[in-house]
Amino acid sequence: MRNLFKKIRESGRDENFLSMVENIEVLVSKALSLAMILIIIFAIFDLFFYLLFFLDNHLFTSTIAKFSGRLFQTFGLFLNILIALEILENITAYLRKHVVQVELVIVTSLIAVARKIILLDLKSTTGTHVIGLGFSVLALSISYWIVRKSNRKS
């Protein structure tokens, strides 16, 4: 019984507790990376099925307007995979160094905002929405420049 209480007291020490928390963080990160790999695989299959079946059947029989809409859909599928790969890179970078790399997070955010801008339907978008996206790109770009500049110095 004394040994049990001694082990409980020792596990309550800061170093042991922080070690336990770090082990849980690593386990959660590994589970997230496996889930992200599955998502990427499904997204790639979705893209290939779209390219092989849907786009092939309607590529030459549709009008220019419908084709451009399908083209933007295809771009969206590609960019979804690219964003998922960047998120996976964020997770694996965390597993390697046990710190969140701000530069990678900003790049992933820039890709996500760029995807939104590329797929933007100007007919149904308000001016304030476009201005907001512009400010988002500007803020993320400045943030990336600052982080990149500070990383070069160190």
Between 63 and 136, residue with greater pLDDT: 136
Range 3-13 average pLDDT: 71
Distances (CA, A) of 57 to 33, 36, 70: 35, 31, 12
Taking only the tens place, the pLDDT of each residue in 81-118 is: 999 999 999 999 888 888 888 988 999 999 999 888 88
Distances (CA, A) of 48 to 43, 62, 68, 86, 98: 9, 20, 18, 20, 35
Say what the pLDDT of residue 52 is.
Answer: 81
What's residue 53's pLDDT? 77
Higher pLDDT, 5 or 148: 148
Task: Give pLDDT tens digits for 19-78.
Answer: 888 889 999 999 999 999 999 999 999 988 888 877 666 655 666 666 666 777 788 888
Whether residue 142 has pLDDT greater than 90: yes
Answer whether 0.75 is exceeded by the pTM. no
